Amino acid sequence: MSLLFSPLTLPSPRGGLTLPNRIVIAPMCQYSADVGAATDWHLMHWGNLLNGGAAMLTLEATAVLPEGRISTHCLGLWDTRTEAALASTLARARKLAPHTAVCIQLAHAGRKASSAIPWQGAQLLNAAQGGWETFAPSAIAHLPTEAAPTEMTLAHMTTVTQAFVTAAQRADAMGIDAIELHSAHGYLLHEFLSPLANQRTDAYGGSLENRMRYPLELFAAVRKAYQGVLGLRLSATDWVDGGWDLAQSTVFAERLQAAGCDFIHVSTGGVSPQQKIALGAGYQVPFARGIRQASGMATTAVGLITDPHHAEAILQNGDADLIGVARAFLYQPRWGWQAAAALGGEVQANPVYWRCLPREAQTAFGKVAVGSR
């Protein structure tokens, strides 16, 4: 039996969430929001992916404060306006694919905020270009050519923590099934963890214990306020000597598990332009394996996993519990259907599309697609 198409229950204080398969669509920024509000692009995008055969769709990095957006066009959830737009748009998309769970990634971009969208250069914007003041654990710029962020005070940190808590409550109120806190890719929580970005001299900088302190405090505050499935996305290494690494990540993961974390999504990199990444199919899987073995948490592997047989092998080897697939779903929106056909699994999907299946793939739905009259 295919492990990729076997169920998995993610625990939570209020009962957990059972996924019918192990495919998770990883979050992908769309840079298509209207001052944080979801738009018709999101309706199309989410509706398409929700019908792709994955057990769960993770919504893109969703800023908990306006200044926490990566760009002017990033999705947000910080007030009643952004909440109403996200709730309405998501409800319309889910109506056509109620079988797929939805997770939201809550985020603050830290010193990487106030940036141009990728196809316009992705560089830090100044006030004249529509940018804004950025905040980080230390006043250290991401790039030497950029202005340094403002070092966060304890009051700033309290404000951000409360924003994460409030956004989690808003997400819960609209029926989202799970929440993932973004602590990867060089954004705010990752910046606190990494000694490359965090050079504070107070209780939140220096030692590993101190650098973990704020992310753990923020996680605990969200956990207290939200009883659903709660996880975290982590960059397991900075790919830079002297930076954050797997050994520190395993300690952090063990502390998260003790604090009530239900799953961990393992990525890498993003905090330094000096990173040297050895790209290749499944290049991040060894990090997922190490963290899974250390923490015992349900672990998601991600990173150039595009072949269903490769995804199956990762699970069979005990390297991870879930497989995160991202851009492959943009190129092949029914990737989950193809994986089911390749591995002898089954998926649920809207019957409107059943007739598109080639004959050899029809068993992936436990049905025979019918022709039109």
> Which residues belong to the active site?
187
Q: Report the alpha-carbon distance of residue 263 to residue 257 in Å, rounded.
A: 8
218 CA to centre of own chain: 17
* 180: β partners: 105, 231
SS3 for 226? coil
The runs of H, that is alpha helices, within the chain are: 40-50, 80-95, 154-173, 188-193, 208-225, 246-258, 285-295, 308-316, 327-331, 335-343
Q: What does residue 86 show for φ and ψ, rounded to 5 degrees?
A: -65, -45
Token pair 């969703």: residue: 62
Distances (CA, A) of 76 to 6, 170, 182: 33, 11, 13
- Strands 17-19 and 8-10, bridge-based pairing: antiparallel
Pairing of β 263-267 and β 150-151: unpaired
Q: Strand pairing partners for 151?
A: 136
Residue partners of 71: CB distance under 8 A and separation at least 6: 31, 114, 115, 116, 117
Q: Which residue has the tokens 């606190």?
A: 192
Q: What residues does 182 pair with on adjacent strands?
A: 233
- Can you say how many angstroms the Cα of residue 58 is from the centroid of all Cα atoms in its chain? 6
What is the rounded distance in angstroms from the CA atom of residue 62 to the CA atom of residue 40?
A: 16
As given in the structure block, the two tokens for residue 134 are 């950025």
| 333 three-state secondary structure | coil
CA separation for the pair 83, 149 (Å, rounded): 28
Give the Cα separation of 337 and 294 in Å (integer): 33
Number of C-beta neighbours around residue 204 at 10 A = 20
Q: Which two tokens stand for residue 368?
A: 């025979």
